Amino acid sequence: MNVNQIRQDFPILQQQIHGKPLVYLDNAATTQKPQCVIDTVRHYYEADNANIHRGVHTLSERATAAYEDAREIIRAYFNAASTQEVIFTRGTTESINLVASAWGNANVKKGDEILITHMEHHSNIVPWQMLCQRTGASLKVVPMNDAGELRMDLFAKLLSERTKLVGVVHMSNALGTLNPIESIIQQAHAVGAKVLVDGAQAASHVAVDVQALDVDFYATSAHKMYGPTGVGVLIGKQAILAAMPPYQGGGDMILTVSFDKTRYNALPHKFEAGTPNIAGVIGFGAAIKYIQSIGLAAIASHEKGLLDYASVHAGVFDGLTPIGTAANKACVLSFVIKGVHPHDLGTILDREGVAIRAGHHCAMPVMQYYKVPATARASFAMYNTKNEIDALFSALAKARAIFA
């Protein structure tokens, strides 16, 4: 993998911030976009823009074909059994809300349990809390240990025939932990529970085969996979999706409408009410093709090299405490530095051209576990280099000196 060549594909990386080369280490928040994705979106608006599934004219046919081609690209990437299982949404958040509303309202009742984990993003907590409030079900939480790993012994104890759904993050955005989702899915299925995996962070770093995993629902966002914002996907098993009521009503999700009765459209359209983010979906397809052109295995091995290198630096940096030291983790270095608030770190690093995220990362229970208000987080992508990690640590040394 030629990182210098890959960097040339990302126009945004070629700039300076405060007179220093941009070092973009906020990839868990959103990744940058390669020229081919930008060009694809631009070409759609310049040459093919039309509404889909409706028009008989050439532009509408072209737009529909490009939109449905993207669905097939995404189906193949996740090895879903059919394009009927690939529902486009606004992103991971909407995908999870879709399941919590449409599946949850139909299948969860008082006395049932939803089991999530201590390291979930708010997107995989709040929709389940809302479902529990509506139905009288209860929310149970799998604890984690100090390394930021799930307590699988306690997971097994918390699972029961009352568990209707297990919601688990594939890769934690706050800690980097990669969770043993294969084993979680097997154990959950053994008690008859469905499993929703939040793949917002994982899907651009590790291969995901939804059939091999036998996962019921897998949710992710295009913008963390080198694609546009405002678009994502929910992959669900066909039989489960077919039995679910719609999430939203409107155009495209119907076959016929009268004031007496509406007949719903077939999958996947039943869950795509209204004009979707057509340009975004087409750009998402281009982003997946770009990842495939580099190769996920090569990307993962490069990123592992970056994480190992950064972890060695972190281990010898005076005053730095890493947050999240799981044996199996990827791409995220979350930490606090004694005497420096993470937000101050973020601001000082920006003056050095280094972009990181500081905050609770929409994972407040993780912050509560470690008794910190926030962490600083550097997160890596395929275009990052060891030189950039050196730049991160020299900027951190400056920040530490200012506050000493």
The residues annotated with a catalytic role in the active site are: 362
Which span (128-136, 197-205, 255-263, 388-396) binds ligand C6P, by CB under 6 A? 197-205
Q: Single out the residue of 27, 64, 221, 375 in contact with ligand C6P (rule: CB under 6 A).
A: 221
Q: Which amino acid does the sequence have at 403?
A: F
Residue 289 buriedness (CB in 10 A; 0-12 / 13-18 / 19+): middle
Least distance from ligand C6P to the Cβ atom of residue 181, Å: 13
Q: Single out the residue of 37, 73, 132, 200 in contact with ligand C6P (rule: CB under 6 A).
A: 200
Residue 155 is encoded by which pair of tokens?
């997971």
Which span (52-60, 90-98, 309-317, 395-403) binds ligand C6P, by CB under 6 A? 90-98
Query: Strand 194-198 vs strand 217-221: parallel, antiparallel, or unpaired?
Result: parallel
HSE on the CB side for 146, CA within 13 Å?
2
Q: Which is nearer to ligand C6P, 200 or 241 (CB)?
A: 200
Q: Which is nearer to ligand C6P, 191 or 362 (CB)?
A: 362
Does the protein bind ligand C6P through residue 361 (CB under 6 A)? yes
Which span (102-110, 193-201, 312-320, 335-343) binds ligand C6P, by CB under 6 A? 193-201
Does the protein bind ligand C6P through residue 204 (CB under 6 A)? no
Q: Which is nearer to ligand C6P, 63 or 382 (CB)?
A: 382
Q: Which residue sits closest to ligand C6P, CB atoms considered?
A: 173
Least distance from ligand C6P to the Cβ atom of residue 172, Å: 7
Nearest-angstrom CA–CA distance, 109 and 94: 22
Binding-site string for ligand C6P from residue 318 to residue 357, where x marks contact by CB under 6 A and - marks none:
---------------------------------------x
Does the protein bind ligand C6P through residue 384 (CB under 6 A)? no
Beta carbons within 8 Å of 397's beta carbon, 6+ residues apart: 317
Least distance from ligand C6P to the Cβ atom of residue 318, Å: 27
Q: Single out the residue of 6, 13, 25, 28 in contact with ligand C6P (rule: CB under 6 A).
A: 28
CA distance readout (Å), 100 to 95, 141, 211, 246, 373: 9, 16, 22, 12, 29
Does the protein bind ligand C6P through residue 29 (CB under 6 A)? yes
Does the protein bind ligand C6P through residue 201 (CB under 6 A)? yes
Does the protein bind ligand C6P through residue 89 (CB under 6 A)? no
Does the protein bind ligand C6P through residue 130 (CB under 6 A)? no
Nearest-angstrom CA–CA distance, 356 and 342: 10
Radius of gyration of the chain (CA): 22
HSE on the CB side for 296, CA within 13 Å?
15
Task: Give the number of other CB atoms < 10 A from CB of residue 47.
Answer: 10
Does the protein bind ligand C6P through residue 92 (CB under 6 A)? yes
Which span (87-95, 242-250, 292-300, 395-403) binds ligand C6P, by CB under 6 A? 87-95
Q: Interface with ligand C6P by CB under 6 A: which residues?
A: 28-29, 91-93, 121, 123, 169, 173, 198, 200-201, 221, 357, 361-362
